[in-house]
Structure 1
Amino acid sequence: MSSPDAVTDSRLYRFVPRGLVPSWASSPWVRFITGKVGTLILAFTFLVVVTFSIVLLIPGDAARAAAGPDASLEVVEATREALGLNDPVWQRFLTYLGDIFSGTMGTSFRVGTVGDQILMRAPYTLAVAGSAILITFILAFALGVGVTVLTRHGRRRWLGTVFSWITAIVDSIPVYIRGTMLIIVFSLTFGLLPPGGAQQPSSYVLPIVALAIGPVCSLGRIVRREAESALEANYIRTTEGWRLPDGLVYLKYLLPNVVTSALTMSGMMLSGMIGGALIMEQVFSWPGLGTSVVSAIISRDFPVVQGTILVLGMVAVVINVLIDVALAIIDHRNLEPRSNS
């Protein structure tokens, strides 16, 4: 068992003299939360630098894009001066930081502030992506564990084969093709659902399905593999010796261990769903951030591109941090830093 002073041996307090570390700092949760806050700060700093560099690295004249292709040289120069493009790079960076922390996130070349544009469009993207992530978790765990239980001890081998083939094929189809196929089948052929737009609640169905169905198949295969491994573990075999009901064994002993291992491997996949949502929005003419950023790239509205990438990048980072927090709540061993040895 570790001593109360073991905290001074951690990387966080390695150079702090004994006796100066407050007692509350010895809590694993304090170290854990401190590390996650540090992760968010580092990720935010990195994204700020990257998004600011977009305007410097993308070829083309931002002033010309803002003034319009038919603007005279005098108008272009006046626009460049108004946008601060003649200022030194360090001054432009400080201005960019000020815009971020003020909430405006800069001024669009076309319409209003970037912050207003993001606030107007973000709910559409987050509604679809959030719903898809929730559905992915529910269906993936239900399918993965369900197929594992039904095919246990060599039963129903055909079900395991069908599950593997179908999930592999569906997961290999890109999101824009899945979306197009759904439109053809459910909108154009049967006329059951709207093919695009967000005018009515039923308009959300196809975008959510198109975004979720691939990750459901991918995570479902991961859950099945982890569930099969867990069923062969000694603690599961011990519960069988106790003659516990199967339902109790699966819910109390199998599912928590499957959730822990599957969550560990699903962070990047769920973050990738945010990027998939941007592609999906083009297929369904969805009025979210994806449609906004594509339109901004075409019109060279760089402030909108910067703000959108910054927000989406932070959303992806937050998703991974939340998964780490969930893992720590489920299993407190995840609170301790991993050893490099």
Structure 2
Amino acid sequence: MPEVDDRSTPRGAAPVWLSFLARRLLRLVVSLFVLVTLAFAMIHLIPGDPVRTALGSRATPELVQARQHALWLDRPLLEQYWHYLHGLFTGDLGTSFTTNLPVAEVLGERLPNSALLAGLAFAVIMLVSVPLGMLVAAATRTGRRRGTELVFTGVTGVLATVPEFLIGVGLVFVFAVRLQWLPVAGQDGPVSYLLPVAALSLGSIAALTRIVRAETLRVLGEDYLRVARGKRLPTRLLYLRHVLPNMLTATLTLGGLLLAGLVGGTVLVENVFAWPGVGTLVVNSVVQRDYPLAQAVILVLGATVLLVNVAVDLLLGLLDPRSTIRRT
């Protein structure tokens, strides 16, 4: 039987949970405030006149002055900050220099592509890593199949350390250039998702599978698992009812970190595959000195990481009340 006493909700769990929730939400609000302030300050930290830099040396003084007025850069700093905050709450993120379109509209076109790519990669990571890690743990338990364990640790160790963009370049060279099985770049049908999703997920699958294997081996060594095994329960029920629930906490913790890390990985991978998402948008906006667009993209990416971390924290608190008590 699972450790019912250890997993049970202790007395006073409701006040503890509310305190935990309040602390996490307060931390989120403070972090978002810092992120917004840094995004606002970005345009002011650029040496020289950012508008003149963006428009080039041939821009007329009238054009520079008009663009400064449109960006509120000719107002006092506090007034600029208030206008920036008001724009965030009303959905007005400014106008792109390069496209002359509202930044919110440009982001609205690109963000779903990045979200779908990251979501598919995360689903592949979880669906492959959990069963694979448990399968390897079952196969190598008590020192069995030493060769399998060495191959597993070697391959996953290498894959976990290779950056996503290098994996992407390698996949393009093999499957798109040499074998010509898959498209090199762009978003053109379901087959175009294969290489970007593989580039995003392979390293994370390797890292998470190692954690799942280690946690599965730990759970298999617990006393209550020995009792359950002594009752001659079917292997399927043993793993689904006893092993899986007790190794999920560590798995979800790392899974949440990997999901947050996919934000940065997506930026690099999208540029390798010329994917029409936020990743290519942020690079293009920086190269073209499109400061309103760069501000908005950095703000969206940072807020996504913060929200994912808080969501994982709350999910772990619901699944394991003991973690709530420890972290409150």
Q: TM-score, normalised by structure 1?
A: 0.87
Which consecutive residues of structure 2, in runs of 5 or more, have no partner in the other structure?
1-7
Amino acid at match of 2:90: S
- Please name the residue that 2:323 is paired with: 334
- Please name the residue that 1:145 is paired with: 134
Greater relative CO (CA pairs within 8 A, separation 6+)? 2
Aligned equivalent of 1:222, options 195, 211, 217: 211
- Please name the residue that 1:91 is paired with: 79
SS at match of 2:37: helix
1:264 partnered with 2:257? no
Aligned equivalent of 2:39, options 40, 51, 60: 51
- CA-CA distance at 1:66 after TM superposition: 4.3
- Please name the residue that 2:312 is paired with: 323
Alpha-carbon contact 2:40-2:295 (below 8 Å) kept: yes
- Please name the residue that 2:155 is paired with: 166
CA distance in 2, matches of 1:285, 1:180: 12
1:104 partnered with 2:97? no
CA distance in 1, matches of 2:19, 2:168: 43
- Of 324-333 and 202-211, deviating more is 324-333
Aligned equivalent of 1:116, options 96, 105, 119: 105
- Please name the residue that 2:120 is paired with: 131
- CA-CA distance at 1:199 after TM superposition: 2.2
Identity %: 37
- Please name the residue that 2:49 is paired with: 61
Aligned equivalent of 2:67, options 76, 79, 83: 79
Aligned equivalent of 1:303, options 278, 292, 298: 292
SS at match of 1:286: coil
Q: Measured at CA, do residues 77 and 189 of structure 1 come closer, stay the same or move farther in structure 2, by a change above 3 Å? A: same
Alpha-carbon contact 1:121-1:287 (below 8 Å) kept: yes
- CA-CA distance at 1:178 after TM superposition: 0.7
Q: TM-score, normalised by structure 2?
A: 0.91
- CA-CA distance at 1:117 after TM superposition: 1.1
- Of 55-64 and 167-176, deviating more is 55-64
CA distance in 1, matches of 2:37, 2:178: 48
CA distance in 2, matches of 1:333, 1:235: 19
SS at match of 1:151: helix
- CA-CA distance at 1:125 after TM superposition: 0.7
Q: Measured at CA, do residues 169 and 2 of structure 1 come closer, stay the same or move farther in structure 2, by a change above 3 Å? A: closer
CA distance in 2, matches of 1:294, 1:139: 31
CA distance in 2, matches of 1:34, 1:337: 15
- Of 107-116 and 45-54, deviating more is 107-116
- CA-CA distance at 1:29 after TM superposition: 4.5
- CA-CA distance at 1:270 after TM superposition: 2.3
- CA-CA distance at 1:110 after TM superposition: 2.2
- CA-CA distance at 1:332 after TM superposition: 2.9
CA distance in 1, matches of 2:224, 2:84: 56
- CA-CA distance at 1:56 after TM superposition: 1.4
- CA-CA distance at 1:115 after TM superposition: 0.9
- CA-CA distance at 1:219 after TM superposition: 0.9
CA distance in 2, matches of 1:281, 1:157: 39
- CA-CA distance at 1:97 after TM superposition: 0.6
- CA-CA distance at 1:100 after TM superposition: 0.7
- Of 166-175 and 286-295, deviating more is 166-175
CA distance in 1, matches of 2:57, 2:116: 37
CA distance in 1, matches of 2:295, 2:219: 45
Q: Measured at CA, do residues 153 and 119 of structure 1 come closer, stay the same or move farther in structure 2, by a change above 3 Å? A: same
Q: Measured at CA, do residues 205 and 69 of structure 1 come closer, stay the same or move farther in structure 2, by a change above 3 Å? A: farther
- Please name the residue that 1:39 is paired with: 27
CA distance in 2, matches of 1:304, 1:269: 26
- Aligned residue pairs, count: 320
- CA-CA distance at 1:142 after TM superposition: 1.4
Aligned equivalent of 1:278, options 263, 267, 277: 267
Once the two structures are superposed, the pairs formed by residues 232-247 of structure 1 within 5 Å of their partners are 232-247=221-236
- CA-CA distance at 1:243 after TM superposition: 2.2
SS at match of 2:327: coil
Alpha-carbon contact 2:134-2:216 (below 8 Å) kept: yes
SS at match of 1:336: helix
1:205 partnered with 2:203? no
Which consecutive residues of structure 1, in runs of 5 or more, have no partner in the other structure?
8-25
CA distance in 2, matches of 1:305, 1:205: 28
